[in-house]
Amino acid sequence: MSKNDVTRRGVLKTGAIAGAGVALPTIFTASSAAAYVNEPTGGTVTLGFNVPQTGPYADEGADELRAYELAVEHLNGGGDGGMLNTFSSKALQGNGIMGKKVQFVTGDTQTKSDAARASAKSMIEKDGAIMITGGSSSGVAVAVQGLCQEAGVIFMAGLTHSNDTTGKDKKANGFRHFFNAYMSGAALAPVLAARYGKDRKAYHLTADYTWGWTQEESIKAATEALGWETINAVKTPLAATDFSSYIAPVLNSGADVLILNHYGGNMVNSLTNAVQFGLREKMVNGKQFEIVVPLYSRLMAKGAGANVKGILGSTNWHWSLQDEGSKAFVKSFGTKYGFPPSQAAHTCYCQAVLYADAVQRAGSFNPCAVEEALTGGDSSLPGISSAANKGFLFDGLGNGQTLYRGADHQCFKDVLVVRGKENPTSEFDLLEVVEVTPAAQVWYEPDHPMFAGGELGTCNPGA
């Protein structure tokens, strides 16, 4: 298909005639179809991979970059095709995106919002990136998402778990495949109550930024609804490496559960400090003291070593899943890199593929066309009765049936509750899935109080 063919084809977008009260289709014409930032004019298209290559989340960033490189290889027809073979949409043919070879540039977010914005801005303005993706911090995600909205390019968020990313800070040009803090609470709390009882007293240590705040809020709400009491909640700096001074007060607080709303290197260090203080051996209120890590990852488990044994948490995906998509991805990633992928790698690979597929189905790189293809459908997840249950429904990417919801650009899918293995068989076999929580249990309405306060707005093509 030639560029002119694509332009003439147009893309349908719903618009409203003022005063008419009815929505009619607005068609991107030949002249307006070209009016967007960094329209690819040659035989290649450039994507921008913005990941933490330094800082507390650098391990996640390294795995994200591996996944993006694998996705580009598959999109361009290399390797074994990975999840392109299992993806329910068959638009992608392994010949790039709309026949254009995919190339990429990279940036280092440093897990700092200002650095991440500067990196993304450079990739857009100097390198011609038409889409930005990546990151392992919600503070970074919110900052870069805002920049991409202003610049008129698509942002496919990487690992971002704060409710705010698709809540009060949601943007029409931004999209999240990863689950969020509310979903972690909804999936994890019933398991905690069943295993540890409903008469528990919790002490929270919380990373002091948008993710930590909403993770704490979500877990507190979900556990308190089942009978738990929150004794205290203390914020900790993201840059902290020694949490001893924060762990010590827990000992005499009367709490019998420590909830670590930490991620990456923060979680590794705080959990290590907690174990060093002997918390796991303590009996409090006649109960065994427990530690909970609401957001888990294999990379964190590896860093924390034996300290994770028996500790419960939640995760977006795990390499041990046996669906066809997961097996295909684990095989491709393992063949290329020699070890299984993390959940960060998985969500980033999915985001690259989902963007490419949306462009292919839309027949255009125009951000407004991509938005319509990615979330503008009328498909719905089965078993959920809600007017908001509509968007792009897909399968075959490792999480079962998944809905990219149109109302807020959040994916809804099954959530995993996991536990640190007591007897791991390798350095990668550290977590076991104890429950697959169905999407219906973690569903919420777009106007839920934890997600209120922002408007999605309209897509910006940047011209």
For 209, the domain range is 182-315
How close are the terminal C-alpha atoms of the chain, in Å?
A: 25
208 exposed, middle or buried (CB, 10 Å; 0-12, 13-18, 19+)?
Answer: middle
Residue 30 lies in a domain: no
Residue 324 lies in a domain: yes
Q: What element of type H or E holds 300?
A: helix 298-304
Residue 9 lies in a domain: no
Instruction: Report the alpha-carbon distance of residue 189 to residue 199 in Å, rounded.
Output: 13
φ, ψ at 313 (rounded to 5°)? -165, -170
401 and 350 co-located in one domain? yes
| Angle (CA) 96 97 100, round 5° | 65
Structure tokens belonging to residue 326:
């997961």
Instruction: Report the alpha-carbon distance of residue 450 to residue 316 in Å, rounded.
Output: 20
59 and 143 co-located in one domain? yes
Last residue of a domain, one of 280, 315, 350: 315
235 and 298 co-located in one domain? yes
54 and 137 co-located in one domain? yes
- Contacting residues for 263 by C-beta, under 8 A, at least 6 apart: 57, 136, 161, 207, 211, 295, 297, 300
Give the pLDDT score at 257. 98
Residues of the chain short of pLDDT 70, as ranges, are 1-34
The CATH number for 112's domain is 3.40.50.2300
Residue 11 lies in a domain: no
Contact 408, 446 (CB under 8 A): yes
Residue 202 C-beta-side C-alpha neighbours within 13 Å: 31
Give the pLDDT score at 26. 31
Number of Cβ within a 10 Å radius of residue 126: 9
186 and 174 co-located in one domain? no
Q: pLDDT, tens digit, for every residue of 315-355?
A: 999 999 999 999 999 999 999 999 999 999 999 999 999 99
Q: Is residue 313 helix, strand or coil?
A: strand
Give the pLDDT score at 297. 85
Instruction: Report the alpha-carbon distance of residue 94 to residue 414 in Å, rounded.
Output: 28
Give the pLDDT score at 392. 98
Number of Cβ within a 10 Å radius of residue 169: 20
285 and 198 co-located in one domain? yes
Last residue of a domain, one of 289, 315, 341: 315
52 and 174 co-located in one domain? yes
Among 449, 459, 415, CA closest to 435: 415
Please report where in the chains the tokens 């009619």 appear, as a residue.
24
168 and 234 co-located in one domain? no
Residue 440 lies in a domain: no
Residue 256 lies in a domain: yes
For the beta sheet containing 257-261, the strands, ordered from the edge strand earlier in sequence to the opposite edge, are: 229-236, 201-207, 257-261, 290-295, 312-315, 415-420, 431-437
Can you say how many angstroms the Cα of residue 335 is from the centroid of all Cα atoms in its chain? 24
- Contacting residues for 286 by C-beta, under 8 A, at least 6 apart: none
Give the pLDDT score at 427. 87
Nearest 10 degrees: CA dihedral of 111, 112, 115, 119? Answer: 40
Tell me whether strands 283-284 and 229-236 are parallel, antiparallel or unpaired: unpaired
Residue 8 lies in a domain: no
189 and 310 co-located in one domain? yes
Residue 369 lies in a domain: yes
Instruction: Report the alpha-carbon distance of residue 292 to residue 418 in Å, rounded.
Output: 11
188 and 164 co-located in one domain? no
Biggest CA-to-CA distance, the chain: 74
169 and 48 co-located in one domain? yes
Under DSSP, the state recorded for 445 is -
Instruction: Report the alpha-carbon distance of residue 266 to residue 272 in Å, rounded.
Output: 10
Instruction: Report the alpha-carbon distance of residue 462 to residue 151 in Å, rounded.
Output: 6
Last residue of a domain, one of 384, 408, 432: 408
Instruction: Report the alpha-carbon distance of residue 434 to residue 37 in Å, rounded.
Output: 46
φ, ψ at 288 (rounded to 5°)? -70, 130
Total of domains in the chain: 2
Instruction: Report the alpha-carbon distance of residue 276 to residue 283 in Å, rounded.
Output: 16
150 and 126 co-located in one domain? yes
Contact 157, 176 (CB under 8 A): yes
Number of Cβ within a 10 Å radius of residue 433: 13
